[in-house]
Structure 1
Amino acid sequence: MRVSAKSDYALRALIEMAARAESAENSRAVSAEELGRQQDIPHGFLQAILADLRKTGIVISQRGQSGGWRLAKPADKVSVADVIRAVDGPLVSVYGLRPEAVTYNDRADVLQHVWIAARDSLREVFEQVSIAQLASGQLPTVVTERTAHEDAWQPH
């Protein structure tokens, strides 16, 4: 799987928002400019990402002097999978199609099972990790067990 810059930036911006919501700055929204500065995200790109996140109900914008962006729901109710789907679409696609929609001839039909298994594996991690967990640094066991093995850190 390739994690796009869009997904990475979206997650970093949401971690920043969630961390602020947990602090004394809870009552104020954060500007896109400030989010971009804090996480080194290009402003124009971040604006487009925030618009995608707003369309899917993950963030809300607040106008006015104390305007900016904030989470639309509790950070523990937003998963990494939700964010990736909001900005990039399905977790796994083959030629732009969902794995179950791809058709092959009899010899290559087995590939569909591989794509669906890969999606299931990604779901196992991405749907279990919330923005709140990322902001607190307290990852679920499904992640800590997978990263405890030295082989997980080795490029193959």
Structure 2
Amino acid sequence: MHISVRADYAIRAMLAIAAADPGRVTAAQLAQHEQMSIGSLQTVLLELRRVGLVLSHRGTERGYGLARPASAITVGEILRAMNGALTTVRGLPTGQATYDGVGRGLRRVWLSVDTAVNAIVDQATLADLLAEDRTEERTEEHVRHRTTPI
């Protein structure tokens, strides 16, 4: 499985937007905070809006917001919006791969890989990732506090 720059940008942008919810985040703020190319990020945000994952707002409350709660948006959904099928064989969706001869057993292996990958990314929601990030931040802060000389 290959995670493209577009997919990486999309997931990171969605996480930043989810972290700001119910507020809004502008493309410029996202690009600066996440150290992303503004041009590439704007293309990604347009695609996320087109597929209904984010909403864009104009005026004094301008910026991007989530189209649904963070708990209802999965990493898998974002990856598929950016790249299509998560696993491919010779450029085809995994389910379309066929073999003759000694490679016949490979189809079962590739389908198992596809099922496993989809299950993992479809279980991870934006809310889960944000909660995990906050837990790690608290743990790191606790360790720093406990190890700071008095």
Query: Quick check: TM above 0.5?
Result: yes
Q: Distance in 1 between matches of 2:104 and 2:45?
A: 39
Determine helix, strand or coil for the equivalent of 2:117. helix
- Structure 2's unaligned 5+ residue stretches are 134-150
The correspondence for 1:82, drawn from 74, 77, 80, is 77
| Letter of the structure 2 residue corresponding to residue 90 of structure 1 | A
The correspondence for 1:93, drawn from 84, 88, 109, is 88
How big is each residue's C-alpha offset from its partner over 1:90-148, in whole Å with a ceiling of 9 and x where there is no partner? Answer: 1111232111112221321222112111111112210100011112217xxxxxxxxxx
Deviation at 1:64, TM superposition (A): 2.1
Determine helix, strand or coil for the equivalent of 2:128. helix
Q: Does 1:41 align with 2:22?
A: no
State the Cα RMSD in Å: 1.3
More helix by share: 2
Q: Distance in 2 between matches of 1:96 and 1:65?
A: 45
| Letter of the structure 2 residue corresponding to residue 2 of structure 1 | H
Alignment-derived partner of residue 129 in structure 1: 124
Alignment-derived partner of residue 119 in structure 1: 114
Aligned residues: 133
Q: How does 1:54-69 map to 2 (within 5 A)?
A: 54-69=49-64
| Letter of the structure 1 residue corresponding to residue 3 of structure 2 | V
| Letter of the structure 2 residue corresponding to residue 35 of structure 1 | L
Q: Distance in 2 between matches of 1:127 and 1:135?
A: 16
TM-score w.r.t. length of structure 2? 0.83
Structure 1 residue ranges (4+ consecutive) displaced by more than 2 angstroms after TM superposition:
none
Q: Distance in 1 between matches of 2:48 and 2:104?
A: 35
Q: Distance in 2 between matches of 1:115 and 1:69?
A: 37
Q: Distance in 2 between matches of 1:96 and 1:51?
A: 25
Alignment-derived partner of residue 45 in structure 2: 50
Which one has a bigger Cα radius of gyration?
2
Determine helix, strand or coil for the equivalent of 2:60. coil
- Structure 1's unaligned 5+ residue stretches are 139-156
Q: Distance in 2 between matches of 1:7 and 1:117?
A: 23
